[in-house]
Structure 1
Amino acid sequence: MVTISFIHYSENKWWAFKQMRLLPPEIEQVEGVIFSKLLGTGSGFGFSLKPDFSTYSLLIKWKDETTKDQFFNSHQLFQELVGKSNTIKTYLLEELGAHGSWYGANPFEEHAAYDGNQIAIITRARINVLKLPRFWSNVPKASKAIKEAKGLVFTKGIGEWPLIEQATFSIWENMEAMKNYAYQDTHKEIIKRVKQENWYKEELFARFNVKGSFQH
């Protein structure tokens, strides 16, 4: 089981920003956490140069349902996030597998079967510094394409470091809608440039069944 929580702050924004450094080592020590990332988010659709300092994302892979439930129901770290934030929306995800790596490892290798319902995608890239101008010059075109995509339920840019380490999280009505976007001309053209010009030092593409959501 994987969860991704979008934490929105109307106040306490400086406190939230400081958690980018303070919270990750504490989350890593929580029982049942296999993999975790506290991520900033961007404004608009897809990758974004403009950060959204009102929203952060907490991505966690869990050992089992029990430890996941304990964290969200009663753990002190999550209760503090609830108290400081305005809302927290959490999506429950089941791994359909991934290719690529995140700092040298693939955290989402498990393969469930697609259940025919909503599908979530995480795409993550560590961009070659020399390719940053090429990458960011193509972002507006990519953002426009995903904004206009049919079957898109939700998307948000997420990342660890501005400019260099970027990712997107998206939810689609079904596999067909996701593939229609992936195979349309604008997206295929950009992916071709990524490969030919070696924009990325590292990349990851992961798929998930969306099994539900809850909000605090």
Structure 2
Amino acid sequence: MVTLSIIKYTQNKWWAFKQMQLLPPQLAAVSSCTFSKVLGTGSGFGFSLWPDFTTYALLMKWKDEVSAETFFSNSEIFLELQSKSEHIENHYLESIGAHGSWYGENPFPERGEYSGGKIAVITRARINIHKLPRFWQFVPKASKSIEEAKGLVYTKGIGEWPLIEQATFSIWKNEQAMKAYAYADIHKEIIGKVKKENWYKEELFSRFNVIKSFQHSKNKTVVLQ
């Protein structure tokens, strides 16, 4: 079980920014969580040069679904995040395949079957320093293409470090829509340049069944369709 939490703030923005440093050791101490990342986000679609200081992401992998549910309902860590934020979207995901690495390891080695319905994708790249100008030259073109993609339900740029460590989280209506975008001419062109010109020092592409999604606010929880 993997969860991706999108945390939105209208107040407490300085507090939220400090959690980038303060939260990781707290999450590392959660015994039922086997992988965790606290991530900033970018403004606009896809990769972005401009941070979004109102929104952060929390990526966690759990031993099982019960462990995730317990954390989100009872842990002091999550209850404080909920009290400080405007709302939190929690997406429960099941890994169905990933290739590449995240700091030398594949955190999602499980290979399941696509179950139909919504599918989520996390792509992450560590960009070679000397390729940064070339990478960012093509970002506006890539962002425009995903913004116009049919069947896209949601997307947000996420990452650990501005400029050099970039990722995207996206949810698609179904696998067909996701593949249609992946094999579109603009996307294929950019991927071809990534490979040919060696833009990335490290990359990861992972797919997930979307099991369920909720939006938590201070007073209520709403199921997201």
Compute the TM-score of the two structures, normalised by the length of structure 2.
0.95
Q: Check whether the contact 1:117–1:174 (CA below 8 A) recurs between aligned residues.
A: yes
After TM superposition, which residue ranges in structure 1, 4 or more long, deviate above 2 angstroms?
none
Range with greater deviation from structure 2 (59-68 or 125-134): 59-68
Q: CA deviation at 1:31?
A: 2.4
User: 1:165 — aligned with what?
Assistant: 165
User: 1:13 — aligned with what?
Assistant: 13
Q: Which runs of 5+ in 1 are unaligned?
A: none
Q: Which runs of 5+ in 2 are unaligned?
A: 217-225
* Structure 1 residues 20-41: Cα deviation after superposition (integer angstroms, max 9, x where no partner): 0000110111121000000000
Q: Matches of residues 63-142 of structure 1 in structure 2 within 5 Å?
A: 63-142=63-142
Q: CA deviation at 1:87?
A: 0.3
Q: CA deviation at 1:97?
A: 1.1
Q: CA deviation at 1:215?
A: 1.5
Aligned length: 216
The CA RMSD measured in Å over matched residues stands at 0.5
- The residue identity in structure 2 corresponding to 1:159 is G
1:177 counterpart SS class: helix
- The residue identity in structure 2 corresponding to 1:23 is L
Q: Percent identity?
A: 69
Compute the TM-score of the two structures, normalised by the length of structure 1.
0.99
CA distance in 1, matches of 2:163, 2:42: 11
User: 2:202 — aligned with what?
Assistant: 202
CA distance in 2, matches of 1:68, 1:171: 20
Matched, 1:40 2:12: no
Q: Check whether the contact 1:132–1:164 (CA below 8 A) recurs between aligned residues.
A: yes
1:188 counterpart SS class: helix
Q: Check whether the contact 1:24–1:38 (CA below 8 A) recurs between aligned residues.
A: yes
CA distance in 2, matches of 1:179, 1:76: 40
1:31 counterpart SS class: coil
Matched, 1:150 2:145: no
